[in-house]
Structure 1
Amino acid sequence: MTSQHRHFVSLGMFIIDEFLYLDDVRNHKGRTLQEQIGGGGTYANIGARIWLPGSEIGMIVDRGHDFPMDIQERLDSYGEDMWFYRDDKSRGTTRARNTYQGDFRGFEYLTPRVRITPKDLDNTKLARPSILHFICSPTRAGEIMSEVLDTPGWKPTSIYEPIPDRCVPGELPALVKVLPTIDVLSPNAEEALSLLSIASPVTKALVEQAASRFLELGVGPNGDGAVIIRSGSLGAYITTRKLGGKWVDAFWNSDNIEQVVDVTGAGNGFLGGLAAGLYFTKDIYEAIYYATVSASFIIQQEGLPKLSNTVDQDGHQVELWNHDSPERRLDVVKSANTLLESKVNKS
């Protein structure tokens, strides 16, 4: 399965997170949970790893002088080859605090961040991947794509995830400028509505309206890109100019919502799963099923999902995530959405 270049690489940063809960959430009120693996790139990489071997994916991990050994061991348990460690003993590892109170989630860096650009991938095992994922402001997305376009012979599929605090109406002109270079634009529902000055609350009709508006603004070369709006329990909505819109239900629904423990990283993991789905299907509408399954594993616990190995009835080694099979969940998602489409077509 390994190719000369990686299939998927994220430019997202590795972050050591701490979580401060100001409400009584999961018995954490007033507690600060420290030193958890974080960063949107990390979750995206794990979302892809659920389907692909570490040799097909990757990201840069900047290790400072304080990089914890237990975190090192946890990362390597998913596959040492998927991480490109970059050491700088003159600084600390990037850290951030997530604060929760009601529906509010605050985020602040506790140390200076080290941003990663496409040029950082040069002369490493991560150079020139087939799919490039990044999470940033629209202006920085333009800078990233300028580097990509200036690299002869490299035309990756770009998956752009706007950073939440820049999803405001004032950023729309910068977003419009970069959209023609973006193959897949994927904000979440709240971010999409905010960018377009569409009043919430989130409904499927408003999500479809926002997605159509982004297409009108010109996503992708010649307007041939895709818009995927991740909408939590409503599922995900994908649309392209050629094939139109389609909803895909979330894996966890009202019948089993107790399985949802922490949605941190769900959107990032979703997009890593999308990239993996493109590896197998070459069809973005099919790939979204893989994305949905990846997100389902991310939100079952605080932090990253658990990877284990077992032997199937034919004696083959297989990987399980949270003691379950991604392939089994994929069958469930496909069956559920086939039934949904059948009902829609009959109505």
Structure 2
Amino acid sequence: MDTITKQFVTLGMFIIDEFQYLDENGDAAGKSQPSQESQGTYAAVGARIWLPPDMIGMIIDRGNDFSQTFQESLESFGDEMWCFRDQPQRLTTRAVNIYRGDHRGFQYLTPRIRITPNDLHGTRLAEAKNLHFICSPSRAMDIMNEVQKTGNWEPITIYEPIPDRCIPEELPALIEVLPKISILSPNAEEALSLLSITQPPSKDLIEQACARFLDIGVGQNGQGHVVIRSGDMGAYVASRVRPGLWVSAYWSGKDESHVVDVTGAGNSFLGGLAAGLSLTNGDVFAAVFHAAVSASFTIEQLGLPRLTSRTDDHSEAEEWNDDHPLRRLADLRARSGYL
């Protein structure tokens, strides 16, 4: 068994997604080809931009329709990342993303196979240093209870609330689980919705929402962080002991023609955040810059970013979409005055 402790493991699922586009009347306006896209895959690849594959982990449930194309695509990032479980009696989890104007809907087409911390026991993914999960607040409590029952495992937990449960009715459950969470990261619309704030997102409202979550008490003894992902406004990170910081989206104010599809950007951001924590000695504020760079590669094309060169060295010698992550990191830090 691989004895390397993983720096990052996601509990996100592998999903074969389809994309359906509707006009304002609800009529079909075209449908893309199915693509491999999932919460977990984008998060894992977001971390892979910075870390070698043997430091990253994700469970992949392979149904009887799992194609060789999917297999080869995943293995191109490094087969050490993936823990495959065959499910020959069922289809791979599938879903459809429905776009109607600025609104996005999401619907599962097959039953889900949820992944929990217990699934990691006895695999090379056990006891990772950073654990990412995407779910409702009530399920987040179940996940944290499983983590706490696992011996002395105390991972940094990165919790991404699932969009359709970011509603005011879920706030009590969120309040209950927040003290167990290291890093809370909704996007701006989700953060405001949880707090019953109905105005459109603005930097002022996002900062207010962040302060309220911190007042509720993120992390043990309130020592956690909140990172609110805010699209082209960037991301806002704060804790109780450091002033909040806005980190620009990489392409904001630059050549925005690079922005092709934002699908998976938030998941990739959080994978990059976890990798950044490993590279900055746990400095969440510094790690947000790694997160923003990971998202910048994800939004440049449909689907996952391309690993365009590979060597036997660490990821700093690799290229993604024919560019170097470290170059973008230095650029973003310089523009932000964070050196």
Superposition TM-score, scaled by structure 1 size: 0.93
Q: Check whether the contact 2:3–2:124 (CA below 8 A) recurs between aligned residues.
A: no
For 2:306, the equivalent position in structure 1 comes to: 306
Q: How does 1:186-335 map to 2 (within 5 A)?
A: 186-282=185-281, 283-309=283-309, 318-335=317-334
- 1:152 maps onto 2:151 in alignment: yes
SS of 1:161's equivalent in the other structure is strand
Q: Cα offset for 1:32?
A: 1.6
Task: Write the letter of the residue equivalent to 1:21.
Answer: Y
Q: Check whether the contact 2:316–2:324 (CA below 8 A) recurs between aligned residues.
A: no
Q: How does 1:65-76 map to 2 (within 5 A)?
A: 65-76=64-75
Structure 2 gap segments, 5+ residues each: none
SS of 2:123's equivalent in the other structure is coil
Q: Check whether the contact 1:3–1:56 (CA below 8 A) recurs between aligned residues.
A: no
Q: Specify whether residues 317 and 288 from structure 1 end up closer, same or farther in structure 2 by C-alpha distance, changes over 3 A only.
A: closer
SS of 2:18's equivalent in the other structure is strand
| CA distance in structure 2 between the partners assigned to 1:244 and 1:85 by the alignment | 42
Backbone CA RMSD of aligned residues: 1.9
Q: Check whether the contact 2:50–2:316 (CA below 8 A) recurs between aligned residues.
A: no
Q: Check whether the contact 2:4–2:54 (CA below 8 A) recurs between aligned residues.
A: no
SS of 1:44's equivalent in the other structure is helix
- 1:56 maps onto 2:55 in alignment: yes
Q: Check whether the contact 2:231–2:249 (CA below 8 A) recurs between aligned residues.
A: yes
* Aligned residue pairs, count: 333
For 2:46, the equivalent position in structure 1 comes to: 47
| CA distance in structure 2 between the partners assigned to 1:220 and 1:154 by the alignment | 16
Structure 1 gap segments, 5+ residues each: 342-347
- Of 254-263 and 133-142, deviating more is 254-263
Q: Check whether the contact 2:184–2:227 (CA below 8 A) recurs between aligned residues.
A: yes
Q: Specify whether residues 205 and 272 from structure 1 end up closer, same or farther in structure 2 by C-alpha distance, changes over 3 A only.
A: same
CA-to-aligned-CA distance 1:162-193 (integer Å, 9 cap, x gap): 00000000000000000000000000000000
Divergent runs of 4+, >6 A: none
Q: Cα offset for 1:88?
A: 1.0
For 1:344, the equivalent position in structure 2 comes to: none
For 2:101, the equivalent position in structure 1 comes to: 102
Q: Cα offset for 1:157?
A: 0.3
Q: Cα offset for 1:3?
A: 6.7
- 1:11 maps onto 2:7 in alignment: no
| CA distance in structure 1 between the partners assigned to 2:171 and 2:233 by the alignment | 25
For 1:180, the equivalent position in structure 2 comes to: 179
Task: Write the letter of the residue equivalent to 1:57.
Answer: I
Q: Cα offset for 1:309?
A: 1.1
| CA distance in structure 2 between the partners assigned to 1:334 and 1:156 by the alignment | 27
SS of 1:30's equivalent in the other structure is strand
Q: Cα offset for 1:255?
A: 3.5
For 1:345, the equivalent position in structure 2 comes to: none
| CA distance in structure 1 between the partners assigned to 2:257 and 2:272 by the alignment | 23
Superposition TM-score, scaled by structure 2 size: 0.95
| CA distance in structure 1 between the partners assigned to 2:94 and 2:23 by the alignment | 22
Percent sequence identity over aligned pairs: 57
Q: Cα offset for 1:9?
A: 0.1
| CA distance in structure 2 between the partners assigned to 1:337 and 1:255 by the alignment | 14
| CA distance in structure 2 between the partners assigned to 1:212 and 1:175 by the alignment | 15
- Of 250-259 and 123-132, deviating more is 250-259
| CA distance in structure 2 between the partners assigned to 1:104 and 1:273 by the alignment | 26
Q: Cα offset for 1:35?
A: 2.5
Q: Cα offset for 1:310?
A: 6.5
